[in-house]
Homo-oligomer: A and B are copies of this chain.
Amino acid sequence: MAALSTTLPLTRDSVLQAHKVIQPHVHRTPVVTNQTLSQLASTPRSPQDLEGTRFAGRTPAKPVLRLWFKCENLQRIGAFKVRGAFYALHRLSEEPGWVEGGGKEKGVVTHSSGNHAQALALAARENGIAAHIVMPQISIPAKIAGTKGYGANVIFSGSTSVEREAVTERVIAETGARLVPPYDHPDIMLGQGTLGLELQEQVERSIAEGKKNKEQKKRGLDAVIAPCGGGGMLSGVALSCEGTGIRVFGAEPSYQGADDAKRGYESGERVPTVSSLTVADGLRTPVGLHPWSVIYERRLVSGMFSVTDEEILRAMRLVYERMKMVVEPSACVPLAVALFDEDFRSLAEREGGEEGWDLGIVFSGGNVAVEALGKLLAGDK
């Protein structure tokens, strides 16, 4: 990773600059709408549906929500993570002396069994940089094969974070490789935030093209909701919306305390550790320090919401059945909030009023073990 002293300030302008850099290397993923799901989100839930939930006894909210899905499941490697990886490697290559000191040959290293591993492997290969990826021995074979397929040097470790970090340290000592963390770095945040810029433009263009007359005043998004694991993407999206008037919200799973950012946001203190086996396996990490400074300290995120694993899987099933899209559980958390979280829905009703909200929803990724799909999708009742 480039030294912190060299990073750009955390502003919307810096996200715009990052976008210029990575645009040739990533897909401008489509933004799609879905009539059935927007209708469902705009229909009050029945009192029976709320029974037995944390919202039992409440009067169901009546928001008007037009949903716009940013399909990063159709991104290269199947997730938004390539954006941050490409930008981080660009910045690293510009760090004075790094290339000249043999940086490309020494390479980069990370420990991850998920989307960040493949993203870094791909970005490194396309930049002619060696990549060392530390993966737990128990990682599923498809992920190992995928990472190796991008030409990375895969090194196995135990599965605890202590074991993984120890192996990573050893790789750094032996190779001189530079660590590229998955989310807790300004360059990563700025890279991921580029999806927020595209989403804004794509929705504006769609609304403009659909306008019946010039009198219509609606211009673009009112709000965006994105998943929050380490917070790299959520904070980047928040930066991309700074000064636009678009409100940004974060979505987390609540299972076994995976809603660390929400709890931190409400208590005023970041929760530094998480140990959860939520089905949203990309969101099992605590929010990082740099993302926290944007999400909470600068209040660029207006609120955090959390949903149960059951709600996440219900949302996921709707995406498969109604949108015919392959998404991973983590990607469905924001939609679950929009459909099932009465706190969020009341807020949207109150603030959106009769005209309602154009709400951007980030589909963060589509990498799911297909063998597990049947169980995941049947297990929602």
| Nearest 3 CB-CB pairings of A with B | A374-B374, A370-B377, A324-B326
Residues of A280-325 contacting chain B, CB below 8 A: 317, 320-321, 323-325
Quick one: copies of this chain in the complex? 2
| Most chain B beta-carbon contacts within 10 A, residue among A325, A366, A372, A373 | A373
Residues of A238-278 contacting chain B, CB below 8 A: none
A61 in contact (CB, < 8 A): no
Question: 12 A-B Cβ contacts within 8 A?
Answer: A73-B324, A74-B324, A78-B324, A320-B370, A320-B373, A321-B370, A324-B325, A324-B366, A370-B378, A371-B378, A373-B374, A374-B376
Least distance between A74 CB and chain B CB atoms (Å):
6
Task: Report the count of interface residues on A (CB-CB < 8 A).
Answer: 21
A327 in contact (CB, < 8 A): yes
A212 in contact (CB, < 8 A): no
Residues of A343-381 contacting chain B, CB below 8 A: 366, 370-378
Q: Which residues of B contact A324 (CB under 8 A)?
A: 73-74, 78, 325-327, 366
**Chain A residues at the B interface, C-beta cutoff of 8 Å:** 73-74, 78, 317, 320-321, 323-327, 366, 370-378
Q: For the complex, what is the distance from the CA of A317 to the CA of B317, rounded to whole Å?
A: 18
Task: Evaluate whether A317 and B370 lie within 8 angstroms (CB atoms) in the complex, with A324-B326, A325-B324 already known.
Answer: yes
Q: Which residues of B contact A366 (CB under 8 A)?
A: 324
Least distance between A119 CB and chain B CB atoms (Å):
16
Q: Which residues of B contact A317 (CB under 8 A)?
A: 370
Q: Which single member of B326, B371, B372, B375 contacts A325 (CB below 8 Å)?
A: B326
Residue of B whose beta carbon sits closest to that of A73:
B324
Residue of B whose beta carbon sits closest to that of A327:
B324
Q: For the complex, what is the distance from the CA of A374 to the CA of B377, rounded to whole Å?
A: 9
Q: For the complex, what is the distance from the CA of A78 to the CA of B322, rounded to whole Å?
A: 8
Least distance between A43 CB and chain B CB atoms (Å):
14
